[in-house]
Amino acid sequence: MQDRALVWLQERAPQLAVPRLVAAKSAETMVRAADEAGAPLRVRLLTWLPGTLLADARPHAPELLRDLGRFLGRLDAALLGFTHAASVERDLDWNPSRSLAVIARHRDAIRDPGRRAIVDGFVRRYEESAAPLLPKLRRSVIHNDANDHNVLVGDPDAEARRVSGLLDFGDMLETQTVSELAVAIAYAMLGKRDPLAAASRVVAGYHEAFPLTEPELDVLFHVACVRLCCSVSLSAHRRTTEPDNAYLTVSEAPAWEALERLSAVPPHLAAYTLRAACSLPPCPESPAVASWLRAHRDEIGRVVEPDLDGALVLDLSAGSPLFEALSALEETARTTERLFGLMKETRAQAGIGRYDEARLVYTTGAFDTPEGERRTVHLAIDVFLPPGAPLFAPLDGIVHAAKDNAARLDYGPTVILRHEPRGCPPFFTLYGHLSRESLERLRAGDGVSKGDEIGRIGAPPENGDWPPHVHFQIVLDMLGRDGEFPGVAAFSQREVWLSLSPDANLILKMPEERVRAAARPKPAILEARRRSLGPSLSVSYRRPLEIVRGFAQHLYDETGRAYLDGVNNVAHVGHGHPRVVAAGRRQMAVLNTNTRYLHETIVAYAERLTALLPEPLHVVTFVCSGSEANELALRMARARTCGTGIVVVDGAYHGNTQGLVDVSPYKFDGPGGRGAPPHVRKVPMPDDYRGLHRREVPDRGERFAAYVGEAFRDLAEHGHAPAAFLCESLLSCGGQIELPPGYLAAAHRHARAAGAVTIADEVQVGFGRVGSSFWGFETQEGALPDIVTMGKPMGNGHPLAAVVTTPEIAGAFANGMEYFNTFGGNPVSCAIGLAVLDVIEEERLQERAERVGGRLKAGLSGLQDRHAILGDVRGRGLFLGIELVRSRETLEPAAEEAAYVVERMKDLGILLSTDGPLHDVIKMKPPLAFSEADADRLVSALDDVLGEDFVMHRLVS
């Protein structure tokens, strides 16, 4: 039968990667032979299929799972019409029609009673919901064993990996066609945090190649779960009969884990999810209910007293300006004041919170899904009204439930009505956050008529501790829940839940355009950006992020997803730090002018800032960007030396003006660059990992520094008198490199000997980031620059930068030509700068950088034993880098792998980026609010991603 099937497939689907039969010289495909002992054997030869077992492939990306489905869909389409006597009623434990018998026979071998109960539960549901449908389903001969040890995967370096083959046709039989897919999803769900999402992808691919019928979709989840139950029952049994055969139980642990997760999923929800994967309405009744409500619009009564046409629509989305700092979400009284204040100002009789809006207001653990996602998408419409405002039944119905869901940020007192209007599938309406006395008047089972009062708006805290409002939601299927129903869904499951809870405006009947989400969709933003912004500006990530909010060490996208920010050092003391925001707001409201007027804040900040630097560095000039700072520093150096020659470190970036592009090898040697201009020399990067002098050389700092002296001599010989040695105190664009010991002092010595001024670019690394000291140059013994430039973290995102130098250089620069900067050092900037310094001090952020950075670095170093690609772990405090190499011998850079890792970490919710001249360095320079737990999370996620095939497959072992 197997041979016939393989030939059949070769003829009908030659492109399908299944083994081919190789005939013997006799033209037979099966020959008789004997083993060493003379026992008869039957032998056949099959072609080899390349690839990795799906069980070993990492990760199971959505596109790969989809391709698995597509492959099986094509296979089943091709097998249609194939028949064989041996395929019928096969006496095989894996025959789907025997599953229940197999489970019944072996379930007692499962020792844990909790687990036995899980199996019994799935069997019961199967008998109730799937078994009656089976006789109606399509039948055909199927492979029947597309488990993850029979599926092969190719192309480890492709963006979308494909199934490269399917093995082992030994379990083929004739049964319900859908069993093929059920087997595949049973195994595809193993080891997944979100098994149903994995199943959906396989189902989507299958449906694309070979459309499923609706009854097939109805049974699919049950059949897949029973397959897993069959597997664990057999494993339990085999454990007693063949305890040493590991293959027989390979799937046991992950199968239990999956069954435990799946037992918590309401079966209808699973079916809806799989329907959504096939682009069917997830909840089958949803379109009928929506169209009934539209058609009977005039028969629907009001829910609240005021006419909602004049209500104020409130923006409660993730990026809403109504919530300034995320911490404010916790304060119900303040939010209430805010929302009701706005309503009062606009004389609105009610406020409206939108349907299908992604929000961050759901902050308790109850809003976390088992899959590790926070639920954000609102499934109802909120109507904000004063406590005590009455609510009415919009249609006849019966009370389904009246219950107090008393946990904080839950519904509080809740009423659910059941409606069954003629000609419409039954549905429910849910009213949350009522007053407690509302519950006293209603009993489950009571009839209510359209227009009856069914409760009143509650006040915090008895209403779940929310600003007073009713959460009004339509629900089509209670999914077995009683007295409550999720009012918010995970964004990844949005479509399914919006189908389960169609737009409540179908009943509230406000003008559509008023309550529709106002935000421009992400693709439209990208397109507008393409049209209106210069094309020389890139966007981070292959699938760009739309970031709508930042708080502390997190950034939030428009779906409400939180990303751990591992890379934005500008938000030094944390995104949206309330103290910094308040300082800016306060000063902005009072005065914002320039530095030509006397102002206490400006001098106070100048004093605070210069006190942080060693003498004689105490003269400051405020500017607005790191580029302006470096530009000014170079002008000062030229004024002081009357020279023009500048020496910089290879790979460095110092700013975006022409003058700075000229001294930035990262730019002038990069794409579009024209090399170093005549007055500029670059010296080799003092990289002691892959540079000219390695870590084993004790005086490498001195040796690297010697190039600085040579470069100035060369400049002088070419008629460029020395002006400045410009160097970052730790190299950032160069690849997160800590200067070797003694480098900076020696380089300064050479520069000064040549008559040049020394400039420390602290734009990236200043303000305590390196932990052990406040400034980066202080990590280098005996190094004291003549000029220090600073920027990025200085205003925590507000454009504030500065040059600090000695009175002597400042004096030389003051040659009569005034330096004036319109915005630099204005009172608002200085107020913000002061607040940043206050926070660094009060929250002991420098110490924190040392402690958390130390833990992060130790964690990363710990990964080096397990991941050969981790060539180097380096940096200080919270300024760290890892360099990825394909071989620790040749140091072949792993740039594509680094880019891959950054993308994958983003998928896992952690933002990092690559850098270094070879693009093989992943940099970490998070806001200093980063915690030890964040460091551990980063290390653990990196551990997973570094084990993925794309990272591993080019390693030279």
How far apart are alpha carbons 216 and 199 in whole angstroms? 14
C-beta separation of 728 from 776 below 8 A: yes
3-state DSSP percent of the chain in helix, strand and coil, to 5: 40, 20, 40
809, 620 contact by CB (below 8 A): no
What's the one-letter identity of residue 374? R
The answer to the question of residue 627 lying near ligand PMP (CB under 6 A) is yes
**Residue reference for tokens 């490269």:** 164
The single residue among 177, 553, 630, 914 that binds ligand PMP, judged by CB under 6 A, is 630
CB 843 to ligand PMP: min, Å: 24
Q: Is the dihedral of CA 32, 38, 40, 45 positive or negative?
A: negative
Q: What are phi and psi of 20, to 5 degrees?
A: -105, 150
Helix (H, G, I), strand (E, B) or coil at 419: strand
| CA atoms of 771 and 878, how far apart (whole Å) | 7
Closest to ligand PMP by CB, 655 vs 686, is 655
Sign of CA dihedral 366, 371, 376, 381: negative
> Binding of ligand PMP at residue 913 (CB under 6 A)?
no
Give the number of other Cβ atoms within 10 Å of residue 481's Cβ.
Answer: 13
Beta carbons of 723 and 646 less than 8 angstroms apart: yes
Specify the stretch interacting with ligand PMP by CB under 6 A; choose among 80-88, 320-328, 416-424, 758-766: 758-766
Give min distance, CB of 403 to ligand PMP, in A: 56
Binding to ligand PMP by residue 662, rule CB under 6 A? Answer: no
Measured CA distances, 641 to 681, 713, 865 (Å): 17, 15, 51
Q: Using CB under 6 A, which of 764, 780, 796, 805 touches ligand PMP?
A: 764
Query: Is 123:230 a contact under the CB 8 Å cutoff?
Result: no
Find the shortest distance in angstroms from Cβ 799 to ligand PMP. Answer: 8
* Nearest distance, CB of residue 737 and ligand PMP, angstroms: 12
Which CB atom, from 654 or from 923, has the smaller least distance to ligand PMP?
654
List CB contacts of 275: < 8 A, sequence separation 6 or more.
214, 217, 281, 282, 284
Closer Cβ to ligand PMP, 318 or 648, answer by number: 648
Least distance to ligand PMP from the beta carbon of 820, Å?
19
Stretch of 209-217, 314-322, 640-648, 653-661 lying at the interface with ligand PMP (CB under 6 A): 653-661
C-beta of 775: minimal distance to ligand PMP in Å? 13
The C-alpha atoms of residue 165 and residue 153 are separated, in whole angstroms, by: 7
Bridge partner residues of 381 (DSSP): 472
Residue 785 in the binding site for ligand PMP (CB under 6 A): no
For residues 934 and 940, give the distance between their C-alpha atoms in angstroms, rounded to a whole number: 10
d(CA 240, CA 234): 10
Q: Which residue has the tokens 């069980």?
A: 55
Shortest Å, Cβ 562 to ligand PMP: 26
* 106/923 with CB nearer ligand PMP: 923
Rule CB under 6 A: is residue 728 a binding residue for ligand PMP? yes
Binding segment toward ligand PMP, per CB under 6 A, in 242-250, 318-326, 626-634, 705-713: 626-634
Minimum distance of ligand PMP from residue 550's CB (angstroms): 18
User: Which residues are CB-neighbours of 502 under 8 A, at least 6 positions away?
Assistant: 286, 289, 290, 293, 474, 476
Closest approach of Cβ 605 to ligand PMP, in Å?
Answer: 18
Nearest distance from C-beta of residue 655 to ligand PMP, angstroms: 4
Kind of pairing between the strands at 757-761 and 722-728? parallel
Q: Check residue 736 for interaction with ligand PMP (CB under 6 A).
A: no
Name the one range near ligand PMP by CB under 6 A: 61-69, 89-97, 451-459, 622-630: 622-630
Among 200, 601, 732, 758, binds ligand PMP (CB under 6 A): 732
Closer to ligand PMP by Cβ: residue 184 or 637: 637
Q: How far apart are CA 372 and CA 559, in angstroms?
A: 15
Binding pattern to ligand PMP, positions 573-612, x when CB under 6 A?
A: ----------------------------------------
From the list 436-444, 652-660, 780-788, 804-812, the region that binds ligand PMP by CB under 6 A is 652-660
> Cβ 829 to ligand PMP, closest distance in Å?
13
Give the total of residues touching ligand PMP (CB under 6 A). 14
> φ and ψ at 562, to 5 degrees?
-90, 135
- Using rule CB under 6 A, residue 82 touches ligand PMP: no
Binding residue (CB under 6 A) for ligand PMP from 486, 550, 655, 893: 655
Evaluate the CA torsion angle 317, 318, 322, 328 in order and state its sign.
Answer: positive
Residue with Cβ nearer ligand PMP (378 or 925): 925
Q: Least distance from C-beta 710 to ligand PMP, angstroms?
A: 24
* C-beta of residue 764 within 8 angstroms of C-beta of residue 730: yes
- Collapsed DSSP state (helix, strand, coil) of residue 848: helix
Specify whether the CB–CB gap between 756 and 724 falls below 8 A. Answer: yes
Which range binds ligand PMP by CB under 6 A, 109-117, 647-655, 684-692, 865-873? 647-655
| Comparison of 235 and 758: residue with beta carbon closer to ligand PMP | 758
Stretch that binds ligand PMP, among 8-16, 485-493, 759-767, 859-867 (CB under 6 A): 759-767
Instruction: In the chain, count H helices and then E strands.
Output: 28, 38
Residue 683: which residues within 8 A CB-CB, separation 6 or more? Answer: 647, 648, 649, 650, 704, 707, 708, 710, 711
Query: In which region does residue 38 sit, left (phi positive, over 0), alpha (psi from -120 to 50) or beta (all else)?
Result: left
Comparing CB distances to ligand PMP, the nearer of 87 and 732 is 732
Contact stretch for ligand PMP (CB under 6 A) within 336-344, 496-504, 620-628, 807-815? 620-628
With H, G, I as helix, E, B as strand and everything else as coil, classify residue 371.
coil
Q: Judged by CB under 6 A, does residue 626 bind ligand PMP? A: yes
Residue 656 binds to ligand PMP (criterion: CB under 6 A): yes
Q: How far is the CB of 630 from ligand PMP (least distance, A)?
A: 6
Residue nearest ligand PMP, CB atom distance: 626
Using CB under 6 A as the binding rule, the residues of this chain from 787 to 846 that contact ligand PMP are 791
Nearer to ligand PMP, 628 or 920 (CB): 628
Nearest to ligand PMP of 553, 732 (CB atom): 732
Rounded CA separation 494/497 (Å) = 5
Altogether, the residues listed in the chain come to a count of 957
For the four alpha carbons of 326, 332, 334 and 339, in that order, the dihedral sign comes to: positive
Task: Indicate whether 654 belongs to the interface with ligand PMP (CB under 6 A).
Answer: yes
Residue 735 touches ligand PMP, criterion: CB under 6 A: no
Q: Which residues bind ligand PMP (CB under 6 A)?
A: 625-627, 630, 653-656, 728, 732, 761, 763-764, 791
